[in-house]
Amino acid sequence: MKSLTHAHLSLLLAMPCYFVLYSLAAFAGLVLFATYEGCDPLAAGLITKKDQILPFFVMDRLSSIPGLPGLFVACIFSGALSTISSAVSSQAAVTWEDWLSDHPCCVALSPTQQAFYTKLIALAYGTLAVGLAFSAGNLGGLIQMAHAFVGSVSGPLLSVFVMALFMPFSNPIGCGVGLVLGTCAPLVVNIGASGLGLSPPLLPTSTDSCPADLTDIPPPPPPPLSVHDLEYPEKLLGLSYKHTVTLGFVVAITFGVLVSLITGRTRGRRVKRSLVHPWVRWTLPDEEELNILGYVYWAVSSVGLGGKRTLTPRGNPEASDRPLHCCQVSTKTINFQPNNQPASHSSTTTTTTTTTLTTTTSSASFKMSSPAGGNPTQVAGVGVCQVCKNGHIKKDFTCCGILLGICCFPIGLVCCWLMREPKCDVCGAKANA
C-alpha cells in the first residue's frame, strides 16, 4: 500500500465483500437445513462427516442440471488452490525477509540465488500443507477445527492491541504472559474436548421422511458424548468452538493486566500520548489542561482580563513543544500555512498576550489570535502539520473504528466514520482535535 490511508480504504472496501460472502454461506446453510430437515443424511448414514453435506446436496438435488456438478468441483479447487498458493508464497517471502536475509550465510547471495532459495522454502511449505491435508481427514469437521485454532490465536492477539491502546500501564512482561496464557487456554479446551469426543449440539433433525429403500443402510454411529453428561471440571471442556476467541481474549486481558500491575507497570518510562487511544489520554500523568480551560482562558484574555498568565502542561514542562489541543494555551509562535498559498508565503501569527488558539481540523476555516488589542484573523484552508511542516491535517479512519465497522457491519460504518481522527497525510502524526 502507498500509505496508511490506502490500507484503511482497502479494509473498508473489503467489508461489504466479507458481508456478502458470509451471508451467502449462512443462506446456503439455511437451504441445507430446510431441505434435509426430515431426512438428515448424517443420521441416515448417507454421509460420514458434516463437511460432506454440501457436495451431497449438489449431487442429490442439482445433478440434473448439465455441467453444474463439474462447475461446483472446479470452483472448490479454484478457491482452494488460489488461497493455498497465496499463503505459501507469502509465508516463503516472510521467512526469507525476517529470518534468513540478514543471516551471514545469506547476505552475499545474488538476487537469482535468493529467488531460488525462496522457491525451495515455498516448496517446503507446500509439502507441509499437503501432509496436513491428508491428516485433516482424521480430525473431524474442518470448519470446526479451523475456527477453534484460529480463534485460539486471534483472541490473545486482539487483547494485546487492546491493552496497548486502552491500558497505558501495561508493559511487555504482562502482554507476553497474557498472550501465552490466552493462547494456551483455548488450546487446552479444544484438545480436551477432542480427547473426550465432545461435539457441539446439532439442530433437531430426523429420518422420518427418508425413502423406504434406506433399510439396507447400516445403522448410524452412536451419538457423541453430550456436554450435559459431564461434571466439573470436565464440563468446562464442553465450551463451543465459537467461543474460543472470547475465552482467549478474556484470559489474556486478565493475566496481562495483573502481571503488568505486579511487575511495576511501565517502571517510570514515559508513555507517548500519540500511542494510546484519545479516550484514555487523560489518564496519562503529563496530560495538558482540559480543553474547557483553554476556552475560558482565551475568552478572558480576549477582553483584557487575562494578564500574562499562561496554562502549562502538568508533569512535564517540555510537553508544550508537542501539538496542542484545539483550544489549549501556548506561549510559542504558530506557523500557519493556508491551503491556497505556497510554502514561501506562509503566515506567522504571534500573540503578545502569550495566548494562541490553533485548530487542526480540515473542513472549516481557522481562527487564530492576533496581537493584543487586535481582532482575530480568519484564515481559510487546511492546517499544516507542525511536525513535518509539509503535510496537511486531514481526518483519517482509526483502527478501532475499522474493527467496529467490520464486526457491526453495516451499522458500524457510521461509527467508523464518526471515530475518524485528524492526522498528517504525509508523516502520519496525530493531531488532537
Beta bridge partners of 430: 423
Q: What three-state secondary structure class fits 203?
A: coil
Residue 117: all three cell numbers together: 532459495
Angstrom distance (rounded) from CA 305 to CA 338: 31
Short-list 170, 177, 173, CA closest to 156: 177
Short-list 137, 79, 90, 142, CA closest to 118: 90
CB atoms within 10 A of CB 288: 26
pLDDT tens, position by position, 394-415:
777 766 666 666 666 666 666 6
CA 219 to mean position of chain CA atoms: 47
**Considering the chain, what is the average pLDDT of its residues?**
69
pLDDT tens, position by position, 85-132:
888 888 888 888 888 888 888 888 888 998 999 999 999 988 888 877
Residue 245: all three cell numbers together: 476467541
pLDDT tens, position by position, 38-53:
888 888 888 888 888 9
- The answer to whether 376 touches 367, Cβ cutoff 8 Å, is yes
Angstrom distance (rounded) from CA 358 to CA 332: 11
Short-list 279, 280, 371, 354, CA closest to 320: 354
Residue 64: all three cell numbers together: 440434473
Question: What Å distances lie between residue 143 and 44, 240, 392, CA to CA?
Answer: 22, 13, 47
Residue 270: all three cell numbers together: 514515559
- Per residue of the chain (433 residues), give pLDDT as tens: 678 888 888 888 888 888 998 899 899 999 998 898 888 888 888 888 888 899 999 999 988 899 999 999 899 888 888 888 888 888 888 888 888 888 888 888 888 998 999 999 999 988 888 877 776 666 556 667 777 778 788 888 888 888 888 888 888 888 888 989 988 888 888 777 776 666 666 777 777 777 755 455 555 555 554 545 556 566 677 777 778 888 889 999 999 889 888 887 666 667 777 777 778 777 665 444 333 333 333 333 333 433 333 333 444 434 433 333 333 333 333 344 444 444 444 443 333 333 333 333 333 333 333 333 333 333 333 467 767 777 777 777 766 666 666 666 666 666 667 777 777 766 766 665 4
The amino acid sitting at 369 is S
- The answer to whether 381 touches 340, Cβ cutoff 8 Å, is yes
